[in-house]
Homo-oligomer: A and B are copies of this chain.
């Protein structure tokens, strides 16, 4: 019964080469313990980045130009709730639904994108990324912001470089508009990013966060470094300053991950080690353990995930 996509293919076949809708997403769950003294081990959705459902429609309109529309919903696999990433004071009850929504026109000139969507931050330079109980960059500068009424321009790739410039334009005087500038370099084994973002984000204080990250694929391993700082704009007081070093090492279907992370403002550090094991190209197991200086006990998670 659940015959789904026949119809769409049939439609797509008769109508000219028009839109193509793709449905993607993922599910993830783990047994985990936060490491806080007395914390119970729980069954957790473990992260909201994998647990998503995304609808994307992309159309080549000729002249090297592509129009793309996208809706992404992030889900809590353990409660059935969605997380729109919006501050509770800014959304009408019952309406927050999509985490990322956008329309983009890309072409030889680069790409212009409007909507509400998450900025990339520096997660790409963290071996543990934005995932689960052990997210060494879990708070502060490494995690990019998300705003209403965004418009963003990305340059074409030039010798491995591209730049991203964006602002929010919402007409609300009480909001100081968000703005961001990102410089990316990706060529061969090398990847690097310089990142600067100013805005309200999901907290109602204007802040500026800036930093940089880099990774280099040595073949037997990929090394990663990063630095980031966040300051309250009104006072220039730093709320976080992170240093990170780490890497990943592939062993067949497995990938070992290691990271050391220090927040100088909180005088806190994290040492983390983990292994990802691929069950297929889109699914896998993971087992991670970390010691946060702030916690009495180790933080750990053992789980499974599947992207689709």
A93 within 8 A of B: yes
**Which residues of chain B have C-beta atoms less than 8 A from A169's C-beta?**
31, 40-43
- B28 in contact with A77 (CB, 8 Å): no
Q: Kindly identify, within residues 14 to 63 of chain A, every residue whose CB is under 8 Å from any CB belonging to chain B.
A: 15-29, 31, 39-45, 49, 51, 53-59, 61-62
- B150 in contact with A43 (CB, 8 Å): yes
- B9 in contact with A43 (CB, 8 Å): no
**Which residues of chain B have C-beta atoms less than 8 A from A5's C-beta?**
1-2, 4-6, 8-9, 12, 20-24, 54
- A6 in contact with B20 (CB, 8 Å): yes
What's the nearest-Cβ distance from chain B to residue A283, in Å? 5
- B43 in contact with A18 (CB, 8 Å): no
The oligomer's copy count stands at 3
What's the nearest-Cβ distance from chain B to residue A221, in Å? 18
**Which residues of chain B have C-beta atoms less than 8 A from A7's C-beta?**
20-22, 58
**Which residues of chain B have C-beta atoms less than 8 A from A56's C-beta?**
2
Q: Kindly identify, within residues 98 to 125 of chain A, every residue whose CB is under 8 Å from any CB belonging to chain B.
A: 98-103, 105, 114-116, 118, 120, 123-124
- B93 in contact with A59 (CB, 8 Å): no
Seed contacts A1-B11, A3-B15, A27-B115; 17 additional CB < 8 Å A-B pairs: A1-B307, A2-B22, A5-B20, A6-B8, A20-B308, A25-B57, A27-B57, A29-B103, A43-B168, A43-B170, A75-B101, A76-B101, A78-B114, A78-B116, A80-B97, A93-B94, A94-B95
* A interface residues with partner B (beta carbon < 8 Å): 1-13, 15-29, 31, 39-45, 49, 51, 53-59, 61-62, 65, 67-71, 73, 75-86, 88, 91-103, 105, 114-116, 118, 120, 123-124, 129-130, 148-151, 168-171, 173, 279-283, 304-308
* 29 A-B pairs (CB sep. < 8 Å): A1-B130, A2-B12, A3-B17, A3-B18, A3-B19, A3-B123, A3-B124, A5-B22, A21-B308, A25-B55, A27-B101, A27-B115, A29-B114, A31-B169, A42-B171, A43-B149, A43-B151, A53-B71, A61-B280, A65-B279, A75-B98, A75-B101, A77-B102, A77-B116, A80-B86, A80-B96, A80-B97, A80-B148, A81-B97
